[in-house]
Amino acid sequence: MISLAEENYLKSIYHLSQAGSQSVLTNELAEAMNTKAASVTDMIKKLSTKEFISYEKYYGVNLTTKGKVVALSVIRKHRLWETFLVEKLGFSWDEVHEVAEQLEHIQSKRLIEKLDEYLGFPKVDPHGDPIPDTNGKIKALQQVMLASLKPGAASMIVAVKDSDSQLLKYLDKIGARPGKTIKVIEREEYDGSMEVSINNQRFFLSKEVSENILVNA
Amino acid sequence: MISLAEENYLKSIYHLSQAGSQSVLTNELAEAMNTKAASVTDMIKKLSTKEFISYEKYYGVNLTTKGKVVALSVIRKHRLWETFLVEKLGFSWDEVHEVAEQLEHIQSKRLIEKLDEYLGFPKVDPHGDPIPDTNGKIKALQQVMLASLKPGAASMIVAVKDSDSQLLKYLDKIGARPGKTIKVIEREEYDGSMEVSINNQRFFLSKEVSENILVNA
DNA sequence: ATATTATTTTAGACAAGCCTAAAATAATAT
DNA sequence: ATATTATTTTAGGCTTGTCTAAAATAATAT
């Protein structure tokens, strides 16, 4: 059996290894998990013994195939639950993360199959992130940062990187939801900020915000 | 904060104190929780310090008002989730218990409110058990055992005591679901068995089974 | 009234998952 | 090439929730 803590570590390792393409380092993981490096080392040993990760002392960890299966199954559950919360229970976009963090650990194959069916086998969650299938296959989206678009370019928002509640609230307010089309009016080279239009309304976005919005390539 | 284990103990204490009307004894609790008496004593001390229960050494425990609130909130969540699983996801009656045991521990007031609303504020769960309201008020049903009915009497099934999966499967097969009307045709005094009719079909029920079916008084 | 039996509690241990402080190793700067 | 700094690991400890074995208490039978 795999514990809740173990599942969370594997999920974090997966996300971190998607971001940077190196091995995941102890300190990165400690920060992501909101814990101390020493605790991470302890857990790394356990996960390594159980063959969920491969681990070279001082040089970080990588998921094994077995570990990736677990991570993707947790992510699948997380994203299906988020979809449920938004589509069926009427949660807003920015409220679902915390609850889904809990729901993703419910152990029941049947439940997830039924939920998937009930939701009509969605391919992406409310943030636009792809939902892995039963076998852990995940469709890599062709995504680029809004920040990289040139003035005049328009594209569909597919996801938001950060899951910070403040950011999500803000994006929700200005209508920057996945599925929406966003157009770059102008971009200031000196600070990376940009003026964009969504729903025919204009907004100024800071560099930080525009780097957190992902659009179709 | 209250832990998962603590919630489960409080729930068990509540159920046991509903059954027998005495204080709940260490051994009863150990059996219900599938653990050893020594472990129960340990936990009892913790719950007592936190004032969820009152405890007199060697003479068992009782829930305090504070403890009852927690227990009823867990039971409310359990029953709402069971309703969801059956009504929305198409689980059958006898499959929901295990999953609901996990779902009942999700911490999110908002989630439960939304779920309640989504289900149309149900008053009873799929087993016919009453669902406590937000304030922990629970409507005591006027229930009697089917076993106590006299030949010729008919009444509506409101609940099933045991949550043993075998029993639930059997009852499902013969159509003995909450809401159904059941009529006693005959009763054998020497072994307590009875012949009944449900949906105009006749069945023989052993004493054990007829004591597990609760009907409107 | 006392001895036997059943129940409950105490004592001491263990695994999981975390911590702090100190030691070991790697990376970087001179 | 070596010293300094940053990162990671080790060592030892804590809490939660469990266990077994032994001691204490209560219930029951004679």
Residues 52-71, chain B, CB closer than 7 Å to nucleic strand D? 57-58
Calpha distance A60→B18 (Å, rounded) = 54
First to last CA, chain B: 40
* pLDDT for the residue B165: 73
Rounded CA gap, B200 and B180, in Å? Answer: 11
Phi and psi at B54, nearest 5°, equal -105, 145
| B145/B162 Cα distance (integer angstroms) | 12
Q: What's the average model confidence in pLDDT over B35-61? A: 97
pLDDT of residue A62: 97
For residue A38, the Cα-to-chain-centroid distance in whole angstroms is 26
Instruction: Name the DSSP letter for residue A101.
Output: H
Calculate mean pLDDT across residues B193-214.
Answer: 90
**Can you give the distance from the CA of residue B96 to the C1' of nucleotide C28 in angstroms?**
59
B123 burial level (CB within 10 Å; 0-12, 13-18, 19+): exposed
Residues 31-50 of A with CB under 7 A from strand D: 37-38, 40-42, 44-45
Residue of A6, A14, A30, A12 lying closest to A138 (CA atoms)? A14
Q: Which tokens is B14 given?
A: 């509540």
- B114 contacts chain A (CB < 8 A): yes
Which nucleotides in chain D have some atom under 7 angstroms from a protein Cβ? Answer: 7-12, 16-22, 25-26
> Domain A4-63, what fold?
Arc Repressor Mutant, subunit A (1.10.10)
* Closest alpha carbon within chain A to B100: A106
Query: A195: which strand partners?
Result: A186, A204
Look at residue B21 in the predicted model and tell me its pLDDT: 66
A147: how many CB neighbours lie within 10 A of its CB?
A: 21
Contacts A103 to B, Cβ<8 Å: 103, 106
- Residue A21 reports pLDDT greater than 70: no
pLDDT per residue as tens digits for the range B123-169: 989 887 899 999 989 887 678 899 988 898 888 887 788 777 788 88
Q: CA B40 → C1' C14, Å? A: 17
Among the ranges given (A47-56, A157-166, B191-200), the one the predictor scored with the smallest mean pLDDT: A157-166
* Shortest alpha-carbon distance between residue B43 and chain A (Å): 22
Domain boundaries in chain A? 4-63, 143-216
Average confidence score pLDDT of chain B:
91
Q: Please tell me which residue of chain B has the smallest CA distance to A115.
A: B89
Across A22-26, A127-131, A166-170, B212-216, which has the greatest mean pLDDT? Answer: A22-26
Query: How far, in Å, is the CA of A15 from the C1' of nucleotide D10?
Result: 28
Contact B76, B131 (CB under 8 A): yes
Average pLDDT over residues A5-28: 92
- Residue A41 in tokens: 């080392």
A63-81 residue pLDDT tens? 999 999 999 999 999 999 9
B99 touches chain A (CB under 8 A): yes
Confidence check: pLDDT of A182 > 80: yes
Closest-approach residue (CA) in chain B for A110: B91
Give the CA A10 to C1' D19 distance in Å.
Answer: 30
Cβ distance of B108 and A98 shorter than 8 Å: yes
Q: Do A107 and B117 form a contact (C-beta atoms < 8 A)?
A: no
d(CA B23, CA B30): 14
Distance CA A185, CA A199 (A): 13
Output the six-digit token pair for A176: 């920057």
CATH of domain A143-216: 2.30.30.90
What is the dihedral sign for C-alpha A96, A100, A101, A102? Answer: positive
Q: What is the pLDDT, as a whole number, of residue A192?
A: 86
A185: enclosing H helix or E strand: strand A181-187
CB contact (8 A) between residue A111 and residue B88: no
Nucleotide with the nearest C1' to B3 CA: D16
Contact check, Cβ <8 Å, A106/B108:
no
pLDDT digits (tens, 9 = 90+) for A158-176: 778 877 778 888 888 888 8
Q: Is the pLDDT assigned to residue B193 strictly greater than 80?
A: yes
State how far residue A10 is from chain B, nearest Cα, in angstroms.
21
